[in-house]
């Protein structure tokens, strides 16, 4: 059995034909409890946190098979509401939530602040999988807008959703997708270039804050054929911004 790391993902070769992919994320002090610093509905918390790891799994081309939630709250009723959010996140995939969702809660002690972790396990069929790779000469483009904290709650239709990501995955002129998290666009752009043995040059007038946290993966970087950029920008339902070129 071979175990390897790729960016934030862990790959486990379990046999000649299949590879397990593991992604995880966590959240603290966000919820509806007394000492939560960002006050949100637990269902929204579960939805957005699950989306982070789900986007990572889908972007690499794996099929989710297990979702593990580790909740530092009681099941009734905060945990139940978080799990409802997780089910909402996976709904666009048509998966059986009763079969793939499992987890644990804190039932011994009362909690006054929300904490949760989530791990998604996906599987790749190596016989039909081609690892997504950014191409030299392709454009570096950001789909969505980086947002964090209350900016996410006040969003007016600028955030990357699971449905958006699936649509991007189905576009053959997009070579690779990398969701952006708390380290910001520039960090992930460097990662995409580094792991493809490429460099990049940035545009002169970029309207986005490249260092701002994208919170729960509210945007993604894509490598796209230059001839397809304008078409995508005009038809896609959320903002699409060219930020550079891979070289």
* Residue 155 and residue 201 in one domain: yes
> 229 in a domain, yes or no?
yes
* Residue 117 and residue 203 in one domain: no
How many structural domains comprise the chain?
2
* Residue 119 and residue 207 in one domain: no
User: Exposed, middle or buried, 98 (CB in 10 Å: 0-12/13-18/19+)?
Assistant: exposed
Residue 242 is predicted with a pLDDT of 96
Q: Whole-model pTM?
A: 0.92
pLDDT beyond 80 at 98: no
Domain holding 178, by residue range, is 139-246
- Name the maximum alpha-carbon separation found in the chain: 58
> 133 in a domain, yes or no?
no
pLDDT beyond 90 at 150: no
CATH number, domain at 102? 3.30.1330.10
Residue 96 is predicted with a pLDDT of 79
* Residue 112 and residue 11 in one domain: yes
Cα distance between residue 62 and residue 53, in whole Å: 12
* Residue 59 and residue 103 in one domain: yes
- pLDDT, averaged across the chain: 94
Q: Is the peptide bond before 77 cis (omega within 30 degrees of 0)?
A: yes
pLDDT beyond 90 at 234: yes
> 131 in a domain, yes or no?
no
Radius of gyration of the chain (CA): 18
- Tens of pLDDT, residue by residue over 41-65, are 999 999 999 999 999 999 999 999 9
């Amino acid at each position: 059995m071979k175990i390897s790391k790729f960016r934030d993902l862990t790959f486990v070769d379990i046999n000649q034909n299949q590879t397990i992919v593991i992604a995880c994320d966590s959240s603290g002090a966000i919820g509806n409890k007394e000492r939560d610093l960002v006050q949100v509905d637990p269902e929204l918390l579960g939805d957005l946190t699950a989306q982070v790891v789900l986007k990572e799994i889908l972007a690499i081309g794996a099929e989710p098979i297990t979702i593990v939630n580790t909740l530092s709250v009681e099941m009734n009723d905060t945990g139940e509401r978080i799990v409802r959010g997780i089910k909402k996140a996976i709904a666009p995939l048509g998966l059986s939530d009763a079969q793939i969702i499992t987890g644990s809660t804190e039932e011994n002690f009362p909690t006054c602040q929300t904490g949760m972790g989530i791990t998604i396990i996906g599987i790749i069929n190596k016989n039909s999988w081609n690892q997504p790779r950014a191409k030299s000469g392709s454009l570096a483009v950001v789909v969505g807008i980086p947002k964090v904290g209350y900016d996410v709650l006040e969003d007016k239709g600028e955030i990357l959703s699971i449905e958006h990501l699936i649509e991007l995955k189905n576009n053959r002129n997009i070579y690779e997708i990398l969701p952006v998290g708390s380290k910001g666009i520039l960090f992930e752009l460097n990662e995409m270039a580094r792991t493809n043995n490429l460099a990049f040059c940035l545009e002169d007038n970029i309207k986005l804050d490249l260092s701002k946290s994208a919170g729960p993966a509210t945007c993604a970087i894509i490598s796209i054929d230059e001839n397809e950029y304008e078409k995508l920008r005009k038809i896609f339902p959320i903002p699409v911004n060219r930020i550079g070129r891979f070289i």
